[in-house]
Amino acid sequence: PNATVSTKQGKLSITGLVQIWYYSIENDNRGLFDDPTLNGVSDTNEAQDNDGFQVKRTDLIFDMDIHENVSARVWFDPAREALSFPAANANQGLLKRGRNGNLANIQTGAGGVPRLLQDAWINYHGVVPHHDFQIGQFRPALGEEGIRLNGHLDFCERSMIGQFTTNRDLGLQIHGTWVDDRVQYWLGAFNGAGNYYLSGGQT
């Protein structure tokens, strides 16, 4: 009674993450070129300093224990379909979020190819001591943040360097772990073409 239902084989786990970003920009009334007295130029900056929302992540992850030595993952992020969010750097003047942005581009991702498929891999483990093998599409393990899921980050966003580790690629990876996971290493070989759904290509 009250025990968690589980099976030795064919166990499916479904996890998700939704991250919504609200940003508030200083609503000033004088723009960079505001000079009504001398040159008759009126720049209120009102078109550039609107607050707003962005859906940053909508991770949906399916983990499957196919066999005691074989597991698999399929990871979708529909939020990555939008490629055209206006820049929202509050200190960059004209790069602020404009009210006249192209809503069609934001909704459709500016016509780019779909990027919602993040991971699709199979992992073989429990046979070679201290090692597992992974093949498919996934994120190369670069840097300390490169081995962590979005929900396991210390902050909502990755670091400036860590953002370069978010691109996926097709390849094979060997992972070794020793001393109760205190010492780990990853060795991977990738085709360098960027992932199948990533319109920006490789990094």
pLDDT 10s digits, 133-168 = 999 999 888 888 878 888 888 887 788 777 777 778
Q: Report the alpha-carbon distance of residue 55 to residue 160 in Å, rounded.
A: 19
The three-class DSSP label of residue 101 is coil
The tokens of 21 are what?
A: 């970003």
Q: In this predicted structure, what is the pLDDT of residue 108?
A: 44
Say if residue 121's pLDDT is above 80.
yes
Q: Give 52: exposed, middle or buried? Use CB within 10 Å, 0-12, 13-18, 19+.
A: middle
Say if residue 201's pLDDT is above 70.
no
Q: Report the alpha-carbon distance of residue 172 to residue 181 in Å, rounded.
A: 21
Threshold 0.75, pTM exceeds = no
Q: Report the alpha-carbon distance of residue 5 to residue 153 in Å, rounded.
A: 30
Say if residue 100's pLDDT is above 60.
no
Is beta strand 183-190 parallel, antiparallel or unpaired with respect to 131-138?
A: unpaired
> Please, what is the end-to-end C-alpha distance for the chain in angstroms?
52
Q: Report the alpha-carbon distance of residue 132 to residue 47 in Å, rounded.
A: 53
The tokens of 185 are what?
A: 């290493």
Q: Report the alpha-carbon distance of residue 165 to residue 118 in Å, rounded.
A: 13
Q: 107 or 96, which is more confident? A: 107
Q: Are 25 and 46 contacting, i.e. CB atoms less than 8 angstroms apart?
A: no
Say if residue 197's pLDDT is above 80.
no
Q: Strand pairing partners for 175? A: 132, 186
Q: In this predicted structure, what is the pLDDT of residue 106?
A: 46
Per-residue pLDDT reduced to its tens digit, 33-66: 888 888 888 877 776 666 777 788 899 999 999 9
Q: Report the alpha-carbon distance of residue 187 to residue 134 in Å, rounded.
A: 10
